Amino acid sequence: MANVLWLQGGACSGNTMSFLNAEEPTVVELVTDFGVNILWHPSIGLEIGHQVSDLLESIVAGKTQLDILVYEGSIVQGPNGTGTMNYFAERPMMDWIKDLSKVSGYVVAIGDCATWGGIPAVPPNPSESTGMQFLKKEKGGFLGADYVSKGGLPVINIPGCPAHPDWITQILVAISTGRIGDVLLDEFHRPKTFFTDFVQTGCPNAISFAQKVDGQFGKRGGCLFYEVGCRGPMTRASCNRILWNRQSSKTRANHPCLGCTEPGFPHNDLVKGSVFKTMKYLGFLPKSVPAGNTKAGYYARAGFEKAMGTLDKVIVGTRPQFESSK
């Protein structure tokens, strides 16, 4: 039996909605098959008012065991570091997180706001929001770079806007069954089992990417990286391997990947015109290039491949065309 407490800070509840739609395993299966005991959740918990604050105080005092602290949303530290912009159970939420993180077996941050600060942390960041252990790519966040839970791990980050539901439930299963030690974390504390492949892996437009064929938003054919801001080639996530609703993904529906599992999200700090548009130098050189490439190297190779593709079209267009036999 693993006791789980789920709290929300600066959040839209999108990750809760995602979590409740999990399929492998479902939320019900978490409880019935894997011994997860949800002490309280803001959307499905039965306790209200002082019942909740009494539970939190019992956990902090060590009377109620807390195996997994799940946190959704940014840590709101404003104004002026007081945290009073986000009050919960008669205290700033950040004060509860500070105390609860000291007694929890493991801490799991769900979604971009909890992992990197997300949209609330975009400058000028009036709420002084940050992630649990990161602010964008900078390690530290609210709990500090050196934080480790009682289980010996840093904050386990499951990013996404929202995070895929099965990423969430499978990590909770790994902890509750004592197998979290088999899960490797990357430099941003993401489980490698979900965040090693790129979104481009499994994308039906991958051939168009290789052939430098431009695509358009919502239309079949062509790659959305060149004009519509798709970040699939530099975003680590299993969206095209573990499909959403077991059916599809953004890129399979010809919607550009927004790179929401990377610590830079939202990219370009939501500068006007940057969300569904590839940002470029000199009007034709993409500012962001696929992971593992230098900009100079990618520009040179992409230019050569583009030229060869154009030449091939010209050659094919000049060849005599013959009707097939009937």
Predicted TM-score of the model (pTM): 0.90
Q: CATH homologous superfamily for 205-316?
A: Cytochrome-c3 hydrogenase, C-terminal domain (4.10.480.10)
Residues annotated in the binding site, as ranges? 12, 113, 161, 203, 223, 230, 239, 257, 260
Range(s) for CATH 3.40.50.700 in the chain? Answer: 2-193
Report the CATH architecture of 2-193.
3-Layer(aba) Sandwich (3.40)
Residue 36: is its pLDDT beyond 90? yes
CA 178 – CA 301 distance, rounded (Å): 47
CA 3 – CA 1 distance, rounded (Å): 7
Mean pLDDT of all residues in 266-285: 87
pLDDT digit string, tens, across residues 299-317: 777 665 666 555 555 565 5
Residues annotated in the binding site for [3Fe-4S] cluster, as ranges? 239, 257, 260
Cβ contacts of residue 127 below 8 Å, gap of 6+? 10, 74, 76, 77, 78, 85, 86, 120
pLDDT digit string, tens, across residues 106-115: 999 999 999 9
Amino acid residing at 158 = I
Mean pLDDT of all residues in 278-300: 80
Range(s) for CATH 4.10.480.10 in the chain? Answer: 205-316
Residues annotated in the binding site for [4Fe-4S] cluster, as ranges? 12, 113, 161, 203, 223, 230
Residue 146 phi/psi, 5° resolution?
-95, 5
